[in-house]
Amino acid sequence: MGLAKRKETHERRCILSGESKPRETLLRFVLDGQSCLVPDLDEDLPGRGVWATADQHGLARAIADGSLRRQASRGFKTALSADGIDPQLPARIAGLLKDRCLKRLGLERKAGRLAVGFEKVRGLISQGGAAALIVARDAGAHGVGKTVALARAQAEPVAIVEAFGRQDLALALGREDVVHAALSKDGAWARLLSDVERFLRFTGAAG
């Protein structure tokens, strides 16, 4: 009984593959007032929902060949029209997942739990207080080599995140230029890393 309940809580069936998978690898979708398919990233929108594997390219293929519309219609028990699914839905979801991560970084910065700038980043890592090192993916090895090496040398693992560009980080953190930042262990680091992993998995950049 307990095991069945746990499986029901943490797994959902992908309407495209028919397989039960961990919730964190899937996305929930609902229908809006115009019977159009919309993503429910927070999994809290009302009404019946369907789940599909969180894979941007796979989702694009399923839209193109009509399988997403057919399987979603079956899941919702109502026929979706041909224009009930936006062809740009995968790209829109990628943008939403990215914005979600950057917004969370901005909140951590405002709360004083994100160090920005070489000296502050190095200090937080050296003191063992960093949960993650955020590195601009377009910074170049020469710009972040020292902080990455320092993070990798710590006794306790420091996650290294290279998911966003310098401009993305600058806009999110209200700075002119951001090459790297360090997230404190006092912050909501687990939730942030979970969101980043979800974004990278969806876009095919995980790993």
Tens of pLDDT, residue by residue over 135-145, are 999 987 777 89
For 2-87, which CATH superfamily applies?
Answer: YlxR-like (3.30.1230.10)
Average pLDDT of the segment spanning 11-23: 93
Neighbours of 63 (CB within 10 A): 18
What's residue 139's pLDDT? 87
pLDDT at 206: 62
Name which residue leads in pLDDT, 201 or 1: 201
pTM for the full model?
A: 0.88
| CA separation for the pair 178, 166 (Å, rounded) | 5
pLDDT at 143: 73
For residue 114, the model assigns a pLDDT of 95
State the amino acid at position 71 in one-letter form: Q
Q: Is the pLDDT of residue 36 over 80?
A: yes
pLDDT at 163: 94
- HSE toward the beta carbon, residue 15, CA cutoff 13 A: 23
Share of the chain above pLDDT 70, in %: 95
Among 4-18, 49-63, 75-89, name the one with the lowest average pLDDT: 4-18
Is the model more confident about 55 or about 206?
55
pLDDT at site 149: 94
- pLDDT confidence of residue 5: 40
Show the tokens assigned to 164. Answer: 């966003």
Tell me what percent of the residues of the chain surpass a pLDDT of 90: 77
CA distance linking residue 20 with residue 31, whole number of Å: 22
85-129 confidence digits (pLDDT tens): 999 999 999 999 999 999 999 999 999 999 999 999 999 999 999
Segment 159-186, tens digit of pLDDT = 999 999 999 999 999 998 999 999 999 8
Domain with CATH 3.30.1230.10 in the chain: 2-87
Q: Where in the chain is the domain with CATH 3.30.1330.30?
A: 103-203
- 103-203 is a CATH 3.20.20.140 domain: no
pLDDT at 8 over 50: no
Q: Tell me how far apart the 2 most distant CA atoms of the chain are, in Å.
A: 58
Q: Give the model's pLDDT for residue 4.
A: 40
Instruction: Give the mean pLDDT of 199-203.
Output: 95
